[in-house]
Amino acid sequence: MSSEFDRRASRRTRDYRRALVATLGVLAVATAGLGVAGAFRVPHLDSASVAAATALERPGQRLVLRADQAIAPVAAEDVTITPAAPIEVDSDDRAITLRFTGMLRARTEYTVEVAVTGTATGVAGTLRYTFPTPDLDVAVLVRDPDGPDEVRRRTVSGDGTETVFTADRIQEFAETRDGVAAIVLEPSGANGRLVIAPDGETLTQEVALPEPGRLQQLQGSETTGRLGFRFTSADDGAPGAALSRLLLFDPLEPSGIARPVTGLDGEPLSVLDWVFVPGTSYLVAQGFDESMLLVDTADPEADPVPLGEHSEMRGFVPGTLQLVVADPLSGSTIDLRSGETEPLVLPDDGLDPTAYRGKILVLGAERYVEVVSRPTTDTGFVLDYEILRGGPEGTVTIFDPGPGIPIRDICLSPNGQYLAVETQDPAGESDGYPNVSGRTLTTTTFVDLETGAASRATPGFASSWCD
């Protein structure tokens, strides 16, 4: 009996050992399989970072994608972006950097796909990343004959507005990094003062001026945080008085004093027109003799760079450092990187002899928008307005305000996607402001330059997109 029991126990032990060996064998094979699978795993996206809002304001913004393993070098042809956007590509180990050479569209979902290959495995895969861009902010000036004026901010596609600054008799305003600055007229209207109003704060700062005087052409630089404006002394008729000096104010400077920009001779520069160069520390100033200078505001010791003589500045081609200038018989662009001037040749708009050409904004190579008006009667006292978009394929009307409604001004959004169109109801009246006059019943409409779609109009004018 005992012998039979021992034989059965021995058999059970042998069966257990066989099962254990078989199980271990299966586990070993499975482990080896997992190791092989891991060794040949497809590259995946580990992380991504992009400043989508900044990419609406200036070119050169970056999207950085990181793979979860080392990958072979990536070229531009390995990248697909939907909707399409021009890029430059650089890669290193696991990181891929896409530099947007243009500006992105607002309220758009971009999908980026990158074909990659793992360097250790040779396995190909696709990194995919989707990100949305926000709406664009814009501010307008709303004047009220019966009460204080307001600077109101909104998004292009939104319904609501936010009042960010209120004062009696606001002549102009400019957005700052954290709020707005405004030129506020004295009750007499002869002189003005510069007030800075940070967002969310009730206290405002008043900028010290050299003396009482008239302030015009207020602009703010998002890049440096500085403010600039033309200043004309109240005693400008005195012998030797400077004409419309260009003053700069740095909120971080302890003195709190606005200082003059100097010219080639080291003396305060008298200017007819001026503009900050987007995305840089530079500005371009035009003297009363029509000579233009490129000035580095970050280096007071740097000599200004002459840019030649031209009759008029007409802003920048969106997303570039190409300054558009005009002369009586021609137009040109000045490349501020190289200083080279090239003739500006735009396709013929094909207008009939009865049409009057108004403001033109250059969008890019051979592309532009133009305000056009035509008399509605033989007397010519009433005009019908429209905005044309021109290019090599011809011209098309993208905005028509309606019979007899004047277009006061047009300005491009920072990314060149929208046009802010200021229109005036014929029933409106002059508000009587000196320097920068306006009319009641003025509205601003935002027009998509690609589709021609127009958002609802908002009361106000002098959009923050305007130079």
Domain annotation covers residue 383: yes
- With a pLDDT cut of 90, the percent of the chain lying above it is 72
Domain extent for 106: 45-132
Out of 112-116, 208-212, 249-253, the most confident range is 112-116
Which of 96-105, 133-142, 202-211, 213-222 is predicted with the least confidence, judged by mean pLDDT? 202-211
Q: For residue range 55-75, what is the model confidence (pLDDT) as tens digits?
A: 898 888 999 999 999 999 999
Q: For residues 79 and 97, is the Cβ–Cβ distance under 8 A?
A: no
Q: Check residue 11 and give its pLDDT.
A: 54
For position 109, which CATH number holds? Answer: 2.60.40.1220
Domain annotation covers residue 66: yes
CA distance 200 to 181: 14
More confident residue, 341 or 300: 341
Q: For residue range 349-378, what is the model confidence (pLDDT) as tens digits?
A: 989 888 999 999 999 989 999 999 999 876
Rg of the Cα atoms in the chain: 32
Six-digit token string for 404: 């007899």
Predicted structure pTM score: 0.86
Asked if residue 23 has pLDDT above 90, the reply is: no
Q: Is the dihedral of CA 22, 23, 25, 26 positive or negative?
A: positive
Q: Check residue 31 and give its pLDDT.
A: 46
Which of 118-132, 274-288, 377-391, 406-420 is predicted with the least confidence, judged by mean pLDDT? 377-391
Average pLDDT, the chain: 89
**455: Cβ–Cβ under 8 A, 6 or more apart, which residues?**
156, 157, 445, 446, 447
Domain annotation covers residue 442: yes
Across 183-212, average pLDDT: 87
The residue type found at 222 is E
SS3 261: coil
Q: Which residue has the tokens 């002459």?
A: 306
Q: For residue range 151-167, what is the model confidence (pLDDT) as tens digits?
A: 999 999 988 899 999 99
Domain annotation covers residue 431: yes
Domain annotation covers residue 211: no
Asked if residue 35 has pLDDT above 70, the reply is: no
- Residue 274's beta-bridge partner residues? 285
Q: Check residue 239 and give its pLDDT.
A: 54
> Do residues 33 and 56 both lie within one domain?
no
Q: For residues 153 and 139, is the Cβ–Cβ distance under 8 A?
A: yes
Q: Which one of 104, 132, 160 terminates a domain?
A: 132
Number of domains in the chain: 3
The band of 18, judged by pLDDT with boundaries at 50, 70 and 90, is low
Q: Which one of 98, 132, 166 terminates a domain?
A: 132
Q: Check residue 236 and give its pLDDT.
A: 61
